[in-house]
């Protein structure tokens, strides 16, 4: 497990160093390329604002009204027997459906429980290790006119479930349980 | 689907506010939620700009193509119906590399191109071929190497170590991708046995 932590610490700095040296070696105008790509980052950050506003307001209302607590208490006993914190369930449900909505939920969980709490870390790993099945399915198949999806949806959703289970197991192993 | 969930969250919240008498908290939540979302997005700009800038250098240096050729032998095994030198293979590899480095916007058009080629391979039929389902399974299990957005959110909320989830995310992603491939294979063999 120490290796996993070391990877966390070193992966990004090493990757950055490697890209810069490799780029220079290949005679890429590094600084110009960097600024060119960076512009894209601003566009993305600004374009997700409406998605996050919509989702965070809905979740905040759901939580502040006491509804979230009510439903959490309903499912708590069953899930905690398996070491699954109930707070993660709404995120797990919405993750395959909408990427930006899930991003809103992840940031909400991190804000409420703290980034270094068990739930905060679990939400972080979950967000990173699964993808938006319905989005990929509708965009990719829709664009090329595939009408009969076959087992695609089943396979995609089961893969998401596998990602959720893997996230819970790995976070518990690396950071300790709740 | 997301429409229903979104309305349900808000509507159920409002009903609970009436029952529980928490309407004051709900009013506050509406404005705080909106404010928080905007603050968060502004906070995301820093990391997104830096990371996408770095990735542009990697792309211009041909690093992504190089990685794609490194992964080619493995990916070829996953798609036995796609000839190794078919354009579909190239698009699928580029799509996977873009996904790995968090270039979602670049990944989508490449993925669509790959699907077009796969459809052509399948005789232009409007049903999903075996390769399409495998490609989709791998895509939905996520291939992210560095979860940049998540790191940015953690930084925003003053994490003591925003990147300490990188290693666990890698392990979880590896497990989920492996599981996706196995699930895909299982369904394929079930289909062929039936047919």
Can you tell me which residue has the tokens 């790993």?
Answer: A125
Closest to A136 (Cβ–Cβ): which among B28, B41, B140?
B140
Residue A20 and residue A70: Cα distance in Å, rounded? 51
pLDDT band at B53 (very low <50, low <70, confident <90, very high): very high
Examine the pLDDT at A38 and tell me if it is beyond 80: yes
Write down the pLDDT at residue A52: 86
pLDDT band at B89 (very low <50, low <70, confident <90, very high): very high
Is B1 close to A134, i.e. CB distance below 8 A? yes
B68-89 b/e with 16+ CB inside 10 Å = b? beeeeeebeebbeebeeebebb
Contacts of B164 in chain A (CB under 8 A): 5, 8-9, 121
Q: What percent of chain A has pLDDT over 70?
A: 98
ipTM over the 0.90 cut-off? no
The 3-state secondary structure of chain A reads CHHHHHHHHHHHHHHHHHHHHHHHHCCCCHHHHHHHHHHHHHHHHHHCHHHHHHHHHHHHHHHHCCHHHHHHHHHHHHHHCCCCCHHHHHHHHHCCCCHHHHHHHHHHHHHHHCCCCHHHHHHHHHHHHCCCHHHHHHHHHHHHCCCECCCHHHHHHHHHHHHHHHHHHHHHHHHCCC
Contacts of B13 in chain A (CB under 8 A): 58, 61-65, 67
Nearest chain A Cα distance for residue B185, angstroms: 9
Contacts of B55 in chain A (CB under 8 A): 37
pLDDT tens-digit profile of A74-124?
888 888 888 888 999 999 988 888 888 899 999 999 999 999 999 999 999
* B70 at interface of A, judged by CB pairs closer than 8 A: no
Examine the pLDDT at B169 and tell me if it is beyond 80: yes
Three-state DSSP state, B125: coil
Examine the pLDDT at B93 and tell me if it is beyond 80: yes
For chain B, what are the domain ranges?
1-46, 61-194
Nearest chain B Cα distance for residue A102, angstroms: 10
Closest to B30 (Cβ–Cβ): which among A20, A25, A61?
A61
Examine the pLDDT at B171 and tell me if it is beyond 90: yes
Is B48 close to A44, i.e. CB distance below 8 A? yes
Mean of the per-residue pLDDT values of chain A? 89
Write down the pLDDT at residue B131: 94
Q: Give the DSSP H or E segment for B126.
A: none
Write down the pLDDT at residue B157: 92
Query: A16-20, A93-97, B10-14: lowest mean pLDDT where?
Result: A93-97
Mean of the per-residue pLDDT values of chain B? 90
Backbone φ and ψ of A151, nearest 5°: -85, 5
pLDDT tens-digit profile of A128-142?
888 888 888 888 888
Q: Which of A136, A143, A176 to probe the B interface (max B CBs under 10 A)?
A: A136
DSSP letter string over B40-63? HHHHHHHHHHHHHHHHHHHHHTTH
Is B187 close to A154, i.e. CB distance below 8 A? yes
Write down the pLDDT at residue B135: 94
Other CB atoms within 10 A of residue B189 CB: 10
The residue in chain B having the minimum alpha-carbon distance to the alpha carbon of residue A55 is: B6
Write down the pLDDT at residue B195: 59
pLDDT tens-digit profile of A144-164?
888 888 888 889 999 889 999
Is A103 close to B149, i.e. CB distance below 8 A? yes
Can you tell me which residue has the tokens 């009408």?
Answer: A147
The residue in chain B having the minimum alpha-carbon distance to the alpha carbon of residue A170 is: B168
Three-state DSSP state, B103: coil
Write down the pLDDT at residue A139: 85
Contacts of B32 in chain A (CB under 8 A): 60
Contacts of B157 in chain A (CB under 8 A): 107, 110-111, 114-115, 120
Write down the pLDDT at residue A23: 95
pLDDT tens-digit profile of B121-134?
999 998 999 999 99
Examine the pLDDT at B12 and tell me if it is beyond 90: yes
pLDDT band at B104 (very low <50, low <70, confident <90, very high): confident
pLDDT band at B14 (very low <50, low <70, confident <90, very high): very high
Model pTM?
A: 0.87
Examine the pLDDT at B1 and tell me if it is beyond 70: no
């Amino acid at each position: 497990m120490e290796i996993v932590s070391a990877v966390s610490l070193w992966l990004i700095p090493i990757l950055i160093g490697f890209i810069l040296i490799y780029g220079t070696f290949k005679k890429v105008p590094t600084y110009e390329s960097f600024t060119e790509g960076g512009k894209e980052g601003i566009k993305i950050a600004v374009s997700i604002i409406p998605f996050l506003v919509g989702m965070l307001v809905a979740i905040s209302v759901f939580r502040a009204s006491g509804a979230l607590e009510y439903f959490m208490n309903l499912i708590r006993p069953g899930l905690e027997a398996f070491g699954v914190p109930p707070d993660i369930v709404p995120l797990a449900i919405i993750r395959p459906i909408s990427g930006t909505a899930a991003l809103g939920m992840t940031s909400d969980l991190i804000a409420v429980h703290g980034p270094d709490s068990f739930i905060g870390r679990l939400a972080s790993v979950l967000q990173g290790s699964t993808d938006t099945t319905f989005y990929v399915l509708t965009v990719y198949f829709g664009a090329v006119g595939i009408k009969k999806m076959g087992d695609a949806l089943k396979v995609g959703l089961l893969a998401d479930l596998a990602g959720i289970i893997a996230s819970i197991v790995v976070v518990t192993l690396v950071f300790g349980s709740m | 689907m997301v429409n229903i969930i979104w309305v349900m969250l808000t509507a159920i919240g409002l009903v609970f506010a009436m029952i529980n008498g928490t309407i004051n908290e709900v009013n506050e939540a509406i404005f705080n939620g909106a404010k928080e979302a905007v603050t968060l997005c502004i906070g995301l700009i820093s990391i997104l700009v830096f990371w996408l800038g770095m990735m542009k250098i990697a792309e211009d240096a041909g690093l992504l193509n190089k990685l794609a050729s490194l992964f080619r032998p493995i990916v070829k095994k996953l798609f036995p119906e796609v000839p190794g030198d078919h354009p579909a293979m190239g698009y699928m590899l580029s799509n996977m590399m873009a996904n790995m480095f968090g270039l979602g916007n670049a990944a989508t058009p490449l993925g669509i191109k790959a699907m077009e080629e796969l459809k052509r391979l399948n005789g232009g039929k409007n049903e999903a071929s075996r390769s399409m389902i495998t490609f989709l399974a791998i895509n939905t299990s996520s291939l992210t190497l560095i979860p940049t957005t998540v790191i940015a959110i953690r930084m925003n909320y003053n994490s003591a170590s925003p990147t300490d989830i990188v290693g666990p995310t890698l392990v979880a992603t590896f497990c989920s991708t492996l599981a996706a491939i196995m699930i895909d294979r299982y369904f394929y063999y079930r289909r062929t046995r039936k047919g």
